[in-house]
Structure 1
Amino acid sequence: MAAAAVEEIRASSYVGFDTITRQIEHKLLKRGFQFNVIVVGQTGLGKSTLINTIFASHLIDSKGRLEHDEPIRQTTEIQAVSHVIVENGVKLRLNIVDTPGYGDQINNEGCWDPIVKYIKDQHSSYLRKELTAQRDRYIQDTRIHCCLFFINPTGHSLRPIDVIVMKKLSEVVNVVPVIAKADSLTLEERLKFKERIRAELVYHNIKLYPFDNTDDYDEEEAQLNERIRDIIPFAVVGSERNVIIDGKAVRGRKNRWGVINVEDESHCEFVYLRNFLTRTHLQDLIETTALIHYEAFRSKQLLLLKNQAAGNPSPPPAQ
């Protein structure tokens, strides 16, 4: 009888709670979304150019040479730039954090410390706002959701400093490695280079995003993440210039072998990276930052505060 009654209610009554998805969508579209990306790598790997290529906008001034005989311009300090991008009514506030090229000096000890500190500082700032007695209704989120880690296309292996920096960063942020300027390698060299890098990541137990945790994903998401892990590191080419291929203007660049079409999947993996960052994993990157990296930071800080309040000796909170 009870089951029949339920079926009758379903058939004859319409409450309207199924519109909640449209209500949520309306609020989210009105508020907009925020995505924070930090780019890390040695000088001269085209970090700014790739970011501009991914988001089809001139967001960061390139540090590359304007003339062949001029020196490479360098980012000398951590710089954050913010842009609002609107696409089909969806507003995205994009924060890009550019970092100085690491490993450029003779003594590179601790060169990763300012980058790690910057990421932790964003967590600390968010936590302070959360703990304020009269906190804002919507806390501005400057926590870093994704770190694009640029690898020099040597074709050999990772540098020891790359391993150290990637290890340090993976503990506090979602790290996505990319092989920069991949058109400097042949397809065979690129494949072998990727295999060496993946082997080194496993050997050094470096946990990269997306994480191998099938419990948090449904079958479709788990399969997609598995395909992404088979591609990583993404071998990419960035370009803000148009070149003519078969009479059509496409984003690309010329090299010693011919013309590279940035968006041709047979030339490089730029399309896979762009789709990964914007079309399939953007929201998950944001959620993973909050639920894993920030939560670990938050728990540690609150435990330290509790110990200090109880008079127990403990180290000061990490900055």
Structure 2
Amino acid sequence: MSAPANDSQDYVGFDTITQQMERKFLKRGFNFNVILVGESGMGKSTLVNSIFSSHLVDSQGRRTAQEVIRKTTEISPVTQTLEENGVRVRLTIIDTPGFGDQCNNEGCWVPVIKYIKDQHAAYLERELKPQRDRVINDTRVHACLYFLNPGSRGLRPLDVEVLKRLTEVTNVIPVIAKSDSMTVEERTVFKRRIKEELVFHRIAVYPYPSEEDGEEDRLLNSSIRDLVPFAVVGSEEIIDVNGTPVRGRRHGWGVINIFDETHSDFVHLRNFMLRTHLSDLIEVTSQRHYEQFRTSQLRQIKELRAQQAAAAASGGIMASMPQQAPPQVPAIHQSMA
């Protein structure tokens, strides 16, 4: 609602709330946390550095075939503060070196799932404090970039198992790593096969359909789902092409420009994550994944208290013991991990 031209007394002014919220938001900044899941050599670090146009993380994978393969999946978070046009973001990139690098990858996803749940548990613990912080530091994982091997013929059994578990706890965005290793025709066939297998295995990746979406959001999300999985190429190298600097990769047959939409889906992925769905990724994490975790944990606490009360009322051993405080949420969570 805008102020009437003739009688400003009729102007109430509540339409300025968006400006008020924007000023507070810009002053406070926000957290955005992304986890990278995929085997070594998939270009995870290069891609995320390309997306944010900054050298945020160094490669955690093996640089040569002679390097020792990690026996377990490690968790390696790196946090930096970025600022663009007055907007400040505290960005955390969590790499998972060692994931999927073994001959037997049974359980290689356990540290990844545990890390995501641990962040939910830490947030819940801070939220339940009698005197909690006015602004809780948000370390919850808002997005997971899951890297698919372009050399496979589709989803491997490991991919299916891990994707099913990851989609239960975070927003998963599947990407085809180093898609320039395939021809355009091979890439089209591979993407179609992945889509079919995601549907067959009932794996729901982000973005999710919602009845609350307006027509514009539905059209946007539909176009994004057509692109999933994103066939991406990342590069931090600047190459001169006929006098024009291009960020890309040089091959014997030519140069891949990562910003050329005919070469890869890099631009679509970056726009999707940062320009159109950044706020939604954070919101869905809070309202969907964290809320499910929170409900489960509080229900367990309630059931445990009921059991303690029943044991005390029955005159059992616990009746003679001093009343114990309910266990901390992280302790319950660790027992579940």
**Is 2:225 aligned against 1:220?**
no
Please give the alpha-carbon distance, in whole angstroms, between the structure 1 residues aligned to 2:104 and 2:275. 40
Tell me which residue corresponds to 1:185. 182
Cα-to-partner distance string for 1:51-91 (whole Å, 9 max, x where unaligned): 0000000000124677x786598796201111111101111
AA paired with 1:164? Answer: E
Moved more, 250-259 or 129-138: 250-259
Q: Give, in angstroms, the shift of residue 284 of structure 1.
A: 0.2
Please give the alpha-carbon distance, in whole angstroms, between the structure 2 residues aligned to 1:200 and 1:226. 18
AA paired with 1:189? Answer: E
RMSD: 2.3
AA paired with 2:227? Answer: I
Q: Give, in angstroms, the shift of residue 135 of structure 1.
A: 0.3
Structure 1 pair 132–63 and aligned structure 2 pair: CA distance change class (3 A): closer
Alignment partner of 2:307: what SS? coil
Report if the CA contact (8 A) 1:170-1:206 is conserved: yes
Q: TM-score, normalised by structure 2?
A: 0.87
AA paired with 1:107? Answer: N
Cα-to-partner distance string for 1:165-221 (whole Å, 9 max, x where unaligned): 1111011000000000000000000000001111110110001000122x1211101
Structure 1, unpaired ranges of 5+:
1-6
Q: Give, in angstroms, the shift of residue 11 of structure 1.
A: 6.8
Tell me which residue corresponds to 2:197. 200
Residue identity (%) = 57
Q: Give, in angstroms, the shift of residue 311 of structure 1.
A: 0.7
Structure 1 pair 113–76 and aligned structure 2 pair: CA distance change class (3 A): closer
Structure 1 pair 212–50 and aligned structure 2 pair: CA distance change class (3 A): same
Report if the CA contact (8 A) 1:253-1:260 is conserved: yes
Q: Which protein shows a greater Rg? A: 2
Moved more, 9-18 or 274-283: 9-18
Tell me which residue corresponds to 1:306. 302
Alignment partner of 2:101: what SS? coil
Tell me which residue corresponds to 1:55. 52
Tell me which residue corresponds to 1:270. 266
Tell me which residue corresponds to 2:79. 82
AA paired with 1:281? Answer: H
Alignment partner of 1:253: what SS? strand
The total of aligned residue pairs comes to 310
Tell me which residue corresponds to 1:142. 139
Cα-to-partner distance string for 1:277-296 (whole Å, 9 max, x where unaligned): 00000000000000000000
Tell me which residue corresponds to 2:323. none
1:15-164 correspondence to structure 2 within 5 Å? 15-63=12-60, 71=67, 77-154=74-151, 156-164=153-161
Please give the alpha-carbon distance, in whole angstroms, between the structure 2 residues aligned to 1:254 and 1:107. 35
Structure 1 pair 188–34 and aligned structure 2 pair: CA distance change class (3 A): same
Report if the CA contact (8 A) 2:73-2:111 is conserved: no
Please give the alpha-carbon distance, in whole angstroms, between the structure 2 residues aligned to 1:274 and 1:59. 15
Cα-to-partner distance string for 1:239-296 (whole Å, 9 max, x where unaligned): 0110112311111011243110010001101000000000000000000000000000
Q: TM-score, normalised by structure 1?
A: 0.91
AA paired with 2:86? Answer: G
Structure 2, unpaired ranges of 5+:
311-330
